[in-house]
Structure 1
């Protein structure tokens, strides 16, 4: 009869995740041993938050839930931000925390924290693992984490339960729910088709549900049948290739996109999750058709009609009944793209962050996967970097956490070992995850880290400037980037010109080593760019 940790390790591997990540505790060692016996990796991170972000990002890319671990007490509280990432960025994750056995938990004080009370508000389910019910709990955890809306599940693992025998449960062998998607017939879609057929200028707003149902190809076909421009959320960059003539750009919650959306006579949201939008009132009175795989309960985006179902099936069913309703799409999309470019092209004395992005896109191969940190530079990366396929651009949008880019890039490297991976980070966000440069080197997961070195926490400086508050408490600088990178076993270079950046990026791709490229940028353009693109 298998032990609890053996059942758990088997389930993780069978679900499609061949590794566990995090920082171990005393009770984790039995799970690590079980994983080792099954030829699984344990990737040691330098901070629990980064471990959870890596695991969650793996879950986003592959659909198989990532698994992260922490010790009890301080390890569990340290991991909270990474689990919050999975919660608000809708990523399938299993977060395991060590815990004292029941008697000690009820009577002791040192390192005693109620983990489930902490994680309950930011998980889809929180449970304590017991050997007698382990197989059912693990099966439920996997199904809960991966079912729309995807998200994290927390499992507290008490000492004493890890090596106890776990009886076989009389359930079907499938760990995750098998589902059969259907295509609705035209008659059932009549109200939606009537809305679409009346529209002359429809626009599509694509969100995370497109990715959950792997509906990128159907979305593009639907847009082409309508002749409609497509705006995506930042998490969905690439669901329509960003060199497609109907691709307009990204929804950023600013004034610049309102001109385009306000011209439409029908808004069609496809898998849009309100967590992807800025927390502002919906600004449009245009009729709105929502295609969703989960009911929209928050009432933030007021739909005239919402159709529930698997996104692929809904798009196929609707596409069969329409064609050529809109002819404005390509022109409207091109006009919007030009407006964004004009708004970003603010003159600077030194190398501008937006120009650095253009150089990076030109220098790197088309199949490069990019991750992006939070901060002032994120707005420019989202607009200037082009992605050509789904899940080729990875960022924290729902939580908007700094420290995302490096662990996110490590997840991308694990999922796509043969493709270049670049992490875009401000100097502040980079320093929050700098320790896992060592993980990249030790685990042989080479990534390129491009740091926007503006020597400050630029987003806060922007807010200070807009509020007419003097600069205070935001200065960075004084870093020896080359020595820092080399200290972790990585390559390091500092660049100040477009030519130097091109050379450094091309060298990094060829080297196969983890490389830190610090780009000395002139951030004086940020305020004008933010004013043009987004309200602060």
Structure 2
């Protein structure tokens, strides 16, 4: 039976197991949206309309990060496509697979100054791993299949397909591409494993640096197996959050990112053998944690590392990470650190845990960040997904909030993109139904994507949105004050977020004290649909972010 290009594209998505398409409609893609909305095939991806293309891209990238399979976003031409740029750049930087579908004017108008005609393919080249424009409807199925394969291949990221309107309407005569077989990598060779074992046997303080590509379920399980053979410290990057399970908490030595003054920085500096597992320099550049340390580095990853003056590994292994770690665990004899080193690490960890203590404060109208984190930590379960926007709150959360499951505490630490938390929370609520999801934002970051609260209400998603409210772009403010003794351009005014929430049909709560925060969280977790909790926050201790445990770098 003959079909047109739009029908071929929908079938291509079905064949590759796509569950959702997020986006905004328009004349150039109305055939595609019509099919998605009215298809009688139960396998057809669910169409979810958002209020901004950037947020649709964020939700798609959240799907990609949570599942390892591409999320799909579809928009119309012109500004519909250009509004995707930030979301796709973020996904590509941070390793989240996404396929973006952008409408385009008919082929004979592409080079003309016609309505909504822009060079979409060229525009998206810098934001994605691959950007193509389909010129023949017969190529749609294979183009989508290749976009899928490119998006998930290490390093995962975004791909873009430009769809001229007339291509979607043309007749297709070629067969569909079948479901793709996964691309498998193998384990490292036996002689490479022997080299790793030899280095582990002679090292005084080997440390695992768990990066973004260590956070898949299979790699995390392989790290756990290795730690049962040799109990050594693990330092997580922000995107490696949750690699260490609750049962292995003794191996957890914090997260690194931004300012070089954490326990993770100190232990990396002391280590004579850093095993970088799935580490990507976009998370925390080598010039921040490696330049003045001595000792060797093993780089184990599915891609080749970026070499710089500050990051030149002594052993580079490009292979399947999980298979290599599991093979290493199988061959590794039971090893232990020296008693002296064990005692030293215990002292370091005790001091580290003491930093979670909530300081006494006289304010009865603002809540200290550690009090908010304590209340949240007490409320969540290990399987609760917590998404975190960018701002001062994100530094507090990265340093003090514990997560024991991979990809359950999500940060943007490649692009540090404002507005990701609520869209990512929507993705998590869709992919992990029946579980509450928490989104944590500042007032500034929330307003980048807060209109998607209506999307969450429409979908009846159990999202608890915390807003740490201080009326400023505070992450910029405290750094400006540290550099120049004054600030500029950081005042953003006041918003009544309880009324804002209610205007969208969500529940709005306000909490001025730690007890009120705990009560509001308990109420929110028991409430159907989205709840917004507005919390005036006391950021007076932010100056400590620039303290010097090691030589600090202001970002």
Structure 1 segment 340-351 matched on structure 2, within 5 A: 340-343=352-355, 348-350=361-363, 351=367
Q: Retained in 1: the 8 A contact 2:457–2:505?
A: yes
Q: Pick from 262, 274, 290: which aligns with 1:267? A: 274
What is the aligned partner in structure 1 of residue 301 from structure 2? 292
RMSD: 2.2
Is 1:393 aligned to residue 418 of structure 2? no
Q: Retained in 2: the 8 A contact 1:128–1:156?
A: yes
Once the two structures are overlaid, the 10-residue window that deviates more, 295-304 or 159-168, is 295-304
Q: Retained in 2: the 8 A contact 1:148–1:212?
A: no
Q: Retained in 2: the 8 A contact 1:348–1:524?
A: no
Once the two structures are overlaid, the 10-residue window that deviates more, 140-149 or 280-289, is 280-289
Q: Pick from 252, 255, 258: which aligns with 2:261? A: 255
What is the aligned partner in structure 2 of residue 224 from structure 1? 228
Q: Pick from 151, 155, 162: which aligns with 1:149? A: 155
Q: Retained in 2: the 8 A contact 1:440–1:447?
A: yes
Q: Pick from 303, 308, 313: which aligns with 1:303? A: 313
CA distance in 2, matches of 1:344, 1:530: 17
- Shift of the alpha carbon at 1:63? 1.7
- Shift of the alpha carbon at 1:224? 2.6
Q: Retained in 2: the 8 A contact 1:230–1:333?
A: no
CA distance in 2, matches of 1:450, 1:153: 32
What is the aligned partner in structure 1 of residue 287 from structure 2? 280
Change (3 A) 1:488 1:318: same
- Shift of the alpha carbon at 1:332? 5.8
CA distance in 1, matches of 2:280, 2:204: 26
Unaligned 5+ residue runs, structure 2? none
What is the aligned partner in structure 2 of residue 18 from structure 1? 19
Q: Retained in 1: the 8 A contact 2:211–2:277?
A: yes
Once the two structures are overlaid, the 10-residue window that deviates more, 341-350 or 364-373, is 341-350
CA distance in 1, matches of 2:462, 2:58: 18
Q: Retained in 1: the 8 A contact 2:104–2:164?
A: yes
CA distance in 2, matches of 1:464, 1:382: 21
Structure 1 segment 510-521 matched on structure 2, within 5 A: 510-521=526-537
- Shift of the alpha carbon at 1:110? 3.5
Q: Retained in 2: the 8 A contact 1:72–1:98?
A: yes
Structure 1 segment 409-448 matched on structure 2, within 5 A: 409-448=425-464
The C-alpha deviation readout for 1:147-181, integer Å capped at 9, x for no partner, is 1110100100101111222232486x233x43345
CA distance in 1, matches of 2:437, 2:244: 20
What is the aligned partner in structure 1 of residue 92 from structure 2? 87
The C-alpha deviation readout for 1:371-429, integer Å capped at 9, x for no partner, is 00011110111122211111111121111101011001001101101111000101100
Q: What is the DSSP-based 3-state SS (H/G/I as helix, E as strand, rest coil) of the residue aligned with 1:400?
A: coil
Count residues in correspondence: 534
What is the aligned partner in structure 2 of residue 384 from structure 1? 400
Q: Retained in 2: the 8 A contact 1:55–1:65?
A: yes
- Shift of the alpha carbon at 1:530? 3.8
What is the aligned partner in structure 2 of residue 58 from structure 1? 63
CA distance in 1, matches of 2:547, 2:120: 42
Q: Retained in 1: the 8 A contact 2:6–2:31?
A: yes
Change (3 A) 1:149 1:250: same
- Shift of the alpha carbon at 1:25? 1.8
Structure 1 segment 12-161 matched on structure 2, within 5 A: 12-36=13-37, 37=39, 38-39=41-42, 40-129=45-134, 130-161=136-167
Change (3 A) 1:154 1:111: same
Q: Retained in 1: the 8 A contact 2:419–2:445?
A: yes
Q: What is the DSSP-based 3-state SS (H/G/I as helix, E as strand, rest coil) of the residue aligned with 1:449?
A: strand
The C-alpha deviation readout for 1:460-496, integer Å capped at 9, x for no partner, is 1102211234344322343222111100000011101
Is 1:529 aligned to residue 545 of structure 2? yes
Q: Retained in 2: the 8 A contact 1:209–1:271?
A: yes
CA distance in 2, matches of 1:312, 1:472: 47
Q: What is the DSSP-based 3-state SS (H/G/I as helix, E as strand, rest coil) of the residue aligned with 2:440?
A: strand
What is the aligned partner in structure 1 of residue 169 from structure 2? 163
The C-alpha deviation readout for 1:422-462, integer Å capped at 9, x for no partner, is 00101100111110001100122231100101221111110
The C-alpha deviation readout for 1:49-103, integer Å capped at 9, x for no partner, is 1110100110111122111122211121111111111111111000111111121
Q: Retained in 1: the 8 A contact 2:298–2:315?
A: yes
Q: What is the DSSP-based 3-state SS (H/G/I as helix, E as strand, rest coil) of the residue aligned with 2:57?
A: helix
Q: Pick from 226, 241, 247: which aligns with 2:245? A: 241
- Shift of the alpha carbon at 1:19? 1.3
TM-score by length of 1: 0.94
- Shift of the alpha carbon at 1:263? 2.2
